[in-house]
A and B are shown apart, each in its own frame.
Chain A
Amino acid sequence: MVEFKKIVEVGRVVMITYGPDAGKLAVIVDIIDHARALIDGPTTNVARQAMSFKRLNITSMKVANLPRGASSPVVAKRVVDQKVVENFANTSFAKKLAARQARATLNDFDRFKLMIAKKQRRNIINREFAKLKKQN
């Protein structure tokens, strides 16, 4: 049995993937049933609301010491004190999103330059790989 590392629990930081708040971070404050959670994001402009898990991506971040059903000011204080938003930028999920965003904003010339850079990288790797192959 694989041990799950990201579980739905009070204090879990989630990213909203659908609707007007898509792309924003929020915190699970309470679990309503098997399909919905009460989320709140006072520092990220997300109103306290019930939301389906289908619209949420759970992240590796968790707000510690958050009691179940905590009020918005309490959530805000914990999020700010624990630097949740700042630390989120260092997670691999956030980096992947940022890379995707950067890729989407490239113009035609940038895409060409990227292609050249990838070619060069490939060239270096293949050369080193061939060297190692020869040694063994």
Chain B
Amino acid sequence: MAHSPRNSFLKPGIARKSRSKTYGLHALYKKNKAAIAAAKPEGPKTITKTVGGAKNGNTRVIPAVKAPRYYPAEDAPVPKANRKTVGTTTLRKSITPGTVLILLAGRFRGKRVVFLKQLSSGLLLVTGPYKVNGVPLRRVNQAYVVATSTKIELPAVAENIDDAFFQKKAEKKDAERVAAQKDVDDKILAVVKQTPLLKAYLNATFTLTKGQTVHNMKF
């Protein structure tokens, strides 16, 4: 008997589980991705063949690939080439390195974090710092973030951290991550401590209270 679908619909069109969740459930990360075969060098278009019979001139030049015996009566439709390219994500103006952001989704929702830089994938590199509120070096989409007007003077940190840093690897890279986190935390904390209450602010989670309406609030 067929089992019920693992990913049922909450409402028609809205799946219970997200794309990334089903990716995990299907264990797609375990599957080997098909490698793209390298293009084979093109061979010669014609070959010279020896033929028997004295009156046949001994050799004959013939095409390397035999022409098909069948031709379609009408031209087969060719799908249009896709000319769209993936563009670079433009960062919101209100987000600059050192901006304090409020995370809106995921397991760290409500946390206030420090924005470090935008990665080449367009995602934002943020950190709690980990020592203050438990948010590690992490990538977030800017759509799931509220930018506040609070900024810290960001020292030079996390220059060698890129998208590859977050890739799942067979061998664990815990030590590397711990070292990177400690380096970033120490440098940011030194700056954070200069402003009174800023550390406590980053430690506190964001919530709405009675009478607060987001569209009327300044961040």
Contacts and interface: CB of A to CB of B under 8 A. Distances in A.
A109 B216 contact: no
A107 B200 contact: no
B93 interface: no
Contacts of A106: 218
B148 A112 contact: no
B31 to A, nearest CB: 44
Main SS of chain B's interface residues? mixed
The contact size tier of chain A is under 10
Interface in A95-136: 104-109, 112-113, 116
Nearest to A116: B197
A2 B182 CA distance: 69
A109 B201 contact: yes
B219 interface: yes
A109 B100 contact: yes
Contacts of A113: 197, 201
Interface residues of B, number: 16
Given A107-B148, A107-B149, A107-B150, A112 B201 contact: yes
A105 B200 CA distance: 21
Contact of A104 (B148, B150, B216): B216
B206 interface: yes
Contacts of A109: 100, 148-150, 198, 201
Nearest to A115: B204
A104 B200 contact: no
8 closest residue pairs by CB, A with B: A109-B150, A108-B148, A107-B149, A112-B201, A108-B219, A107-B218, A109-B201, A113-B197
20 contacts: A104-B216, A104-B218, A107-B149, A107-B150, A107-B218, A107-B219, A108-B102, A108-B148, A108-B149, A108-B150, A108-B218, A108-B219, A109-B148, A109-B149, A109-B150, A112-B197, A112-B200, A113-B197, A113-B201, A116-B197
